[in-house]
Chain A
């Protein structure tokens, strides 16, 4: 049973709004990552969803985990993914993006 009175509390509404916004961003960017026809765009969408996950951690008062997410996933894994994509053959990508 949901306690409806808590919806009148402004702090609860702010937290709910922040969580919903982040959830939509994370899900949207993840879906874009999978469905994008351009591999570099996929990589960048993935980084965006990592950043939104970091923001989610921080909104849950887990600051250290959030910052570690930024350092490890965006700063290291993400850059590694982009670097690896950049080393692949450019012609493959050009057919997709610049046709």
Chain B
């Protein structure tokens, strides 16, 4: 009864129906991302503990310390929210909101796996646009603004230095990253992430290994993770642009890093590791793409944590040098390679 009414409405007003469905899907997506990012915080603490031969969180919530997340969240929610007297209040208040909002933009066009119904592969994506790879690149490029807002409005020289470093680093690595996305698009003959995944009968990590390495380095830099986390170098600038934040505002900024880590890893899996492609598992063929996708995603996430615990931090000038002088020319070489291979051998 209700279902038939809905389908009738969908046939009559496809645009309004699409709008409503899109809003509902966006709400579901945002909640799922938040929950998964919270799990990611726990995973990182646990895996780091294992790498460093210690336990990690193990007191709260039984055997694996799962409820540590809940304890952390309660702490962040109930802590006093301090706004420094010299701070520029509206910008200071808006910075964490802008940070999470611009990050969530990326999620709209990213497919979160696929399911097989009646032998047909249906990707799970909110907005399946023709130019979704381009859109994701654009959404990633505006993340520097929240860093600037947080750093400038705190009225603290260390926050300011953190923002300086953050923007310098993001600009330096945005360019090679964008050129890598272009190389992938050239080889796949499409800017749609779903079609890029479907075009990977051979993983692009194998077809253009140079691009894979450049993209992975640029991604770690964009995420601000360990070898490239000069924005938060404790020994030099306290905590970068997070310094003055406390309570739930700090929670949002902290959480945003993990959301970006999750979305960036998904992007890496889609562009270079064949997304949800893989042999169909016979009995549970319905969700076999999801299984492949999550296996690859977990491997990438653990590899990111592995890099974090293994490598020391670089200096900021070394980082920008690497971006402009080495990765940018190499990404050009990779683009030429992608054009030759993609157009003449495909």
Contacts and interface: CB of A to CB of B under 8 A. Distances in A.
Interface of A: 10-11, 14, 38, 40-41, 44, 47, 63-64, 67-68, 70-71, 74-76, 78-79, 82-83, 86, 90, 97-98
Interface stretch (B145-153, B266-274, B280-288, B323-331): B145-153
A64 B86 CA distance: 42
A86 B160 contact: yes
Given A74-B142, A79-B145, 5 more contacts: A70-B139, A75-B141, A83-B167, A83-B171, A86-B163
B86 to A, nearest CB: 6
A14 B88 CA distance: 37
A69 to B, nearest CB: 9
A70 B138 contact: yes
A5 B44 CA distance: 60
A86 B163 CA distance: 9
B16 A86 contact: no
Contact of B148 (A10, A11, A71, A82): A82
Q: Which 6 A-B pairs have the closest CB atoms?
A: A75-B141, A71-B138, A70-B138, A74-B142, A67-B135, A82-B148
B221 to A, nearest CB: 16
B129 A63 contact: yes
B68 interface: no
A6 B257 CA distance: 48
A18 B135 CA distance: 21
A67 B145 CA distance: 17
Nearest to A54: B138
Interface string B2-16: 000000000001011
A8 B138 CA distance: 38
A82 B130 CA distance: 31
A63 B137 contact: no
Contacts of B309: none
B-side binding surface: helix, strand, loop or mixed? helix
A29 B157 CA distance: 29
Interface string B66-104: 000000000000000000001010010000000000000
B34 interface: no
B155 interface: yes
Contact of A75 (B91, B163, B174): B174
Contacts of A83: 148, 167, 171
Given A44-B149, A78-B145, A97-B88, A64 B131 contact: yes
A10 B19 CA distance: 13
Interface residues on B, range: 20 to 34
Contacts, number: 70
B148 A67 contact: no
Contacts of B15: 11
B164 interface: yes
B32 to A, nearest CB: 24
Interface of B: 13, 15-16, 86, 88, 91, 129-131, 134-135, 137-139, 141-142, 144-145, 148-149, 152, 155, 160, 163-164, 167, 170-171, 174
A47 B95 CA distance: 14
Nearest to B109: A67
Contact of A63 (B91, B131, B152): B131
B138 A86 contact: no
Contacts of A75: 138, 141-142, 144, 174
Contacts of B86: 98
Nearest to A38: B88
Most buried by A among B16, B91, B152: B152
Nearest to A74: B142
Contacts of B131: 63-64, 67
A86 B88 CA distance: 14
B151 to A, nearest CB: 8
B174 A10 contact: no
A79 B134 contact: no
B167 A71 contact: no
B138 A10 contact: no
Nearest to A43: B148
Contacts of A40: 88, 91, 152
A82 B145 contact: yes
